[in-house]
Amino acid sequence: MSTNYLRDQRRSRALSTAEVAARLGVHPNSVLRWERLERLPAPAHIHGLARALRVETAEIADFFDTARRPGAVATTTVRGPGLRSLRAAARIPAPRIAAALGVPAARVYNWESGRARIPLDLVPTLAAALDVEVGRLLDLLRRADSAPPVRELSELGRLRHRTGLSRAAVAARIGASRHSIGAWERGGQPPLAAVRRLARVYGVPVGVVARAAGVTAPLLLDARRWSPGDLPGVLLALREWSGLTQREVAARCGCGMDAVRSWEKGRSRPRPATRMLLETLYRLPDGELLRASP
């Protein structure tokens, strides 16, 4: 099967990468990387590609099996971590290399970091841009095969990766920056509000995202620590950790959002019937919230 099979199937149906990506709920760059065999899709995306391109799932699976066979991808691509030192020595910025090759600058950075491989058909143009012999360039690039492997995704990164969403897509959905998503995936701790939003985007409980991000649960989640007067903080911690907004709690308790806000500020307390609804909502034993009441 041709290494251009996936791209040819898409083009024969007059589909853009953006259109295919929209049908699968992924970033267009993911589709491009699959077509170049730089990345392998999850099983669910293989089925999605088959539906989008109106071909048998087995055909899509066979195409990606070529990337799983040892050395198959290496025959059409070469690793690129060695490119960075060559470019630095020639004092050529990545955007200029990208312009010469007709690719985004981000792709050059991906080659240099080892997140993607350089297609061999681009090597002659790349050699010309760097003013080196093609054979010399290939020799230098192939030496990089002994470089340490790319750092594995963190637990938080894996949660995002399995959704097929890019950092930019997640950032747009939770109202954060792409750089913040990257920083959290590299070990930075997101605020609890962001943990709650990430849980919704990834379709997992808040606690799963919190553990992946190394965020410690608030102390007031432990009923054994409650003292009289802790009710405002307890209600706030329970709501945030459950991934609910004040509006959602109000709807489930049959009250206004102002009432929920007032409880969490300590300006008022829920009535006994509402307290029982809250205990059911947060899966607490009957009367448990009384321990934190004044």
Express each pLDDT in 266-292 by its tens digit: 999 999 999 999 999 988 999 999 999
CA distance 21 to 62: 20
Q: What is the pLDDT of residue 152?
A: 61
Topology, domain 220-292: 434 Repressor (Amino-terminal Domain) (1.10.260)
8 Å CB contact between 259 and 194: no
Q: What is the pLDDT of residue 149?
A: 47
Widest CA span of the chain, in angstroms? 81
Which pLDDT band holds residue 2 (cuts at 50, 70, 90)?
A: low
Which pLDDT band holds residue 262 (cuts at 50, 70, 90)?
A: very high
Say if residue 223's pLDDT is above 70.
yes
Which pair of tokens denotes residue 253?
Answer: 């308790």
CA distance 219 to 216: 9
Which pLDDT band holds residue 142 (cuts at 50, 70, 90)?
A: confident
8 Å CB contact between 231 and 289: yes
Say if residue 217's pLDDT is above 90.
no
- Dihedrals phi, psi of 271, to nearest 5 degrees: -65, 160
Express each pLDDT in 58-87 by its tens digit: 788 777 766 555 444 446 778 888 888 888
Q: For 142-149, what is the mean pLDDT? A: 56
CA distance 244 to 191: 15
8 Å CB contact between 83 and 118: yes
Q: What is the pLDDT of residue 283?
A: 86
CA distance 140 to 88: 14
CATH for 79-146, options being 1.10.260.40, 3.30.70.1450, 3.30.300.30, 3.10.180.10: 1.10.260.40
| Percentage helix, strand, coil for the chain under 3-state DSSP, each rounded to 5 | 65, 0, 35
3-class SS letters over 147-192: CCCCCCCCHHHHHHHCCCCCHHHHHHHHCCCHHHHHHHHCCCCCCH
Q: What is the pLDDT of residue 158?
A: 86
Q: What is the pLDDT of residue 197?
A: 85
- Residue range 157-216 in CATH 1.10.260.40: yes
């620590």: which residue's tokens? Answer: 225
Q: What is the pLDDT of residue 72?
A: 47
Burial class, 106, CB count within 10 angstroms (exposed 0-12 / middle 13-18 / buried 19+): middle
Which pair of tokens denotes residue 209?
Answer: 């995202």
CA distance 16 to 39: 19
Q: Which residue has the higher pLDDT, 120 or 274?
A: 274
Q: What is the pLDDT of residue 240?
A: 81
Q: Considering the domain delimited by 5-75, tell me its CATH architecture.
A: Orthogonal Bundle (1.10)
Which pair of tokens denotes residue 152?
Answer: 């594995």
Q: For 21-40, what is the mean pLDDT? A: 84
Q: Which residue has the higher pLDDT, 274 or 121?
A: 274
Domain with CATH 1.10.260.40 in the chain: 5-75, 79-146, 157-216, 220-292
Which pair of tokens denotes residue 183?
Answer: 């920083």
Q: Do the bridges between strand 77-78 and strand 118-119 make them parallel or antiparallel, or are there none, so unpaired?
A: antiparallel
Helices (H) and strands (E) counted in the chain, each on its own, are 19, 2
- Candidate from 16-25, 58-67, 172-181 with smallest mean pLDDT: 58-67
Which positions ≥6 away from 154 have C-beta within 8 Å? 185, 186, 187, 212
Q: What is the pLDDT of residue 75?
A: 60
Which pair of tokens denotes residue 12?
Answer: 């024969």
Which pair of tokens denotes residue 79?
Answer: 């690793």
Highest mean pLDDT among 97-106, 162-171, 187-196, 270-279: 270-279
Express each pLDDT in 225-257 by its tens digit: 899 999 999 999 888 877 788 999 999 999 999
